[in-house]
Structure formats: structure tokens, C-alpha cells
Amino acid sequence: MTATTDVFEAQRAFLFGIAYRMLGSVSDAEDVVQDAWLRWQGDRPADLAQPRAWLARVVTHLSIDLLRRRRRERVDYTGPWLPEPLLEPAADDGADAADHAALAETLSIGLLALLEALPPTERATFVLREAFGMDYEAIGAILEAQPTTCRQWFRRGRARLAARDHDAAAGRAGRALLDRFLAALASGDATRVAALLGEDVELVSDGGGKAAAASRPLHGRRAVSRFLAGLAARADAAVRVAPARLNGAWGCLVYRGAMLETAVVLSGAADAVRGIYLVRNPDKLARLHAAARSAAQSTQHP
């Protein structure tokens, strides 16, 4: 590697983090980072003093442009739209609880879905401020806006999100909640399932018109528990469930035979599930399936 390549590679994870939070798509985020790499090779100033800031600006603007295009395309999307899940490597929950709490807050499927309601500049401001702790001067330089304007965008965006719960089921408490949730489903007892759900629980299922899914979000303990009980009743011996950490939260991957059919992510507190997100669109599961298979192979053959 050359020195300039090393500089870019040192920022790759940071740049992917911006793009993924802006777009909610692993493939789109990877494309944005690749485009930034090409610009880094050909367009960067010769006397560049702050490569991280320059790259953040490039990736943010590329993400905003792509987000606008994707939103126009999603007008015809079938059913609710959810982000493409991101698999995290297994880790010790106790050793890095603070890091996982921060990660879960800014990566959660629930939050990323809510961010879809924000205008692109507000979303960028929220991501740069909340996920990466940038001050308003730095955000203003990236977005070519006054710091006071960025502050207003952030406050407005945060106010829009404040009314909705998007706490991820993270850490040991999240894993315990997942285990109780799966055990309740396996029991086939709808009352036991309902007891784990918050009164205002929401279930969102994304099939994209390519897999069976609820056509609209379900709200409330009764509706959600009945839907889940119906799913559990249709499960057979070919169905296998594997716990997984997705987007900073505990969830699970549901397989039928060797095929990944559903990624399930929970949000909520230790006492109740408040959000259930089912990603069933096969286009959003392909990379996740490959990543899970690779992780399993590396565990078996260290």
C-alpha cells in the first residue's frame, strides 16, 4: 500500500459508518465509500491538511445525493421499508457495554427507520452530531452551512424523533430479553408472548413485495401477539433460529433449511419488547446471509 492508500483505509470504517447511517443500505454505503476512494485518488487537494474532514464531506454529500434518488425510487416500494440489517461480530457484552450502548443507539433498525422521515440535511446533521460527536462548526463545514443553521437542524430532527421509542435491545439485558421472547414463541402460548410485549408495541415487516410480510405496521399488544402466534404455529422442523447481534441490538436469523428467510431485530427495555422488526426482502438478506455464513466458518476454523 502507498501512504495515501493507508490514509484512506484508516478512515474506511468511519466513512462506511456515515454512509450506512445515511442510507440504511450496506450495498449503497459500500458504493459511496468506493466512489469516495476514486475521488480521493483523483480529486483531493495536493496540500490537504485534514484528510478525515475532507473525506467526511465527500461521503456525506455523496450520501445525500444518493438518498434523494433512493427516496424517489421508494415511492413504488411494496409495503413498509426497513434498513438492510448489519451483522456484528460476537463480543463479550460485559467488556464493552458502554461502546455497545452507543453503537446500538445510533445504528438501531428502529432509529434508522425513523430517520427516513427527516430531510437529507437534517439526517446528515443528526448522524454527524449524534453518532460521531462532531461540533456544529465541523458539521457546518461539511454541509456548507452556518453552525447556527446546523444547530437548528439537529434540534428539529431530534424533536421529530423524540416522540418515538427506538431503544435497541443491547448488551446482556437485550440477550436475556431475546431468549425470553424466543422461548415464549416456541411455547406456542399467545398469553406468554403477550406478557413480554409493551402495551404500545409496534411490529414492522419488510418483504418488499418479494416475500410474505404484513402490508402495514401492526400496533398494540393484542394485534402483535396474535400475529406472532400465527407465525410460530406455522413453523416446522425445517425452521432454525440463530441469535445474532444486528445493528447494535440482539435479534435472530431465521432459516428454513439452509436459506435465510428473516432477520428479526428487537427494541425495548429489559421488561418489555417495544419494537419488532422483520426483514424478509431477499435483496436485503443476501449480504447478511453471506456475512453470517462467513462468521460461522471462521468460528469453526479459527
pLDDT digits (tens, 9 = 90+) for 286-297: 999 999 998 877
Nearest in space to 291 (alpha carbons), one of 25, 88, 43, 91: 88
CATH 3.30.830.10 given to domain 3-82+114-162: no
Predicted confidence (pLDDT) at residue 63 exceeds the cutoff of 70: yes
pLDDT(92) > 90: no
- pLDDT reported for residue 78: 94
> Would you say residue 99 has pLDDT above 50?
no
Determine the pLDDT at residue 65. 98
Average pLDDT (103-132) is 88
Task: Check pLDDT > 50 for residue 264.
Answer: yes
Q: What region, left, alpha or beta, does residue 32 occupy, with left being phi > 0 and alpha being psi -120 to 50 degrees?
A: alpha
Grid coordinates standing for 243?
441469535
Spans of all domains in the chain: 3-82+114-162, 171-300
Q: Is the pLDDT of residue 302 over 60?
A: no
pLDDT of residue 166: 57
Strands 197-206 and 272-279: parallel
Shortest CA distance to 150 belongs to which of 121, 178, 127? 121
Residue 201 has a CB neighbour count (10 Å cut-off) of 25
Helices H / strands E in the chain, number of each = 12, 6
Strands, sheet with 218-219, edge to edge from the N-terminal-most edge strand = 218-219, 197-206, 272-279, 259-269, 249-256, 239-246
Q: How does the average pLDDT of the chain come out, rounded? A: 89
pLDDT tens sequence across 18-43: 999 999 999 999 999 999 999 999 88
Q: Which of 52-56, 172-176, 255-259 has the lowest mean pLDDT?
A: 172-176
CATH class of 171-300: alpha beta
What pLDDT was estimated at residue 167?
67
Which amino acid would we find at residue 186?
A
Average pLDDT over every residue of 99-105:
51
pLDDT at 94 over 70: no
139 or 44, which is more confident?
139
With a pLDDT cut of 70, the percent of the chain lying above it is 90
Question: At residue 172, does pLDDT exceed 90?
Answer: no
